[in-house]
Amino acid sequence: MAFKVFSRLTAVTLRLNPHPAAFSALSSGGRLTVEHDRQNRRFTVSPDSGADCAVLLYRFTGEKEVDLMSTFVPETFRGHGVAALLSQAAMDFLVEENLKAHVSCWYIKKYIEENPRQRYEQRVIT
């Protein structure tokens, strides 16, 4: 995993090893970039074609608390793990910044349940 940090925008490039062919329509070489736009409080993934982007939205609810509100993946991206990439980036953000989260989004709840080894559940406020 490679990290590129900008002043207000963080880009995370994730190499997709298991099924890179499944992503060929989305991005050449099986690479998708998750960008963290801290100013607008969102994570995005955009295909090289410049089509609609997938997005995960969050908001701060306290000094060290966020609400992971929603994910949206355009139909052309669906079924290729894009929402999981967004969720992973958001959860990694919580860990890196030592934040706790309310999880309003059903998909992110599912992602946390399906990835217990990551111990993301310790970051969730119930």
80-117 tens-digit pLDDT: 999 999 999 999 999 999 999 999 999 999 999 999 88
Domain segments of the chain as ranges: 2-123
Task: Kindly state the tokens that stand for 87.
Answer: 């969720």
Task: Kindly state the tokens that stand for 120.
Answer: 């993301």
Q: How distant is the alpha carbon of residue 120 from its chain centre?
A: 13
pLDDT at 44: 97
pLDDT at 17: 33
24-42 tens-digit pLDDT: 334 445 678 899 999 999 9
User: The pTM is what?
Assistant: 0.76
Task: Kindly state the tokens that stand for 48.
Answer: 């090289």
Task: Kindly state the tokens that stand for 81.
Answer: 């793990």
pLDDT at 66: 98
Multiple choice CATH, 2-123, 3.30.420.40, 2.40.50.140, 1.10.4080.10, 3.40.630.30: 3.40.630.30
76 falls in which pLDDT band (50, 70, 90)? confident
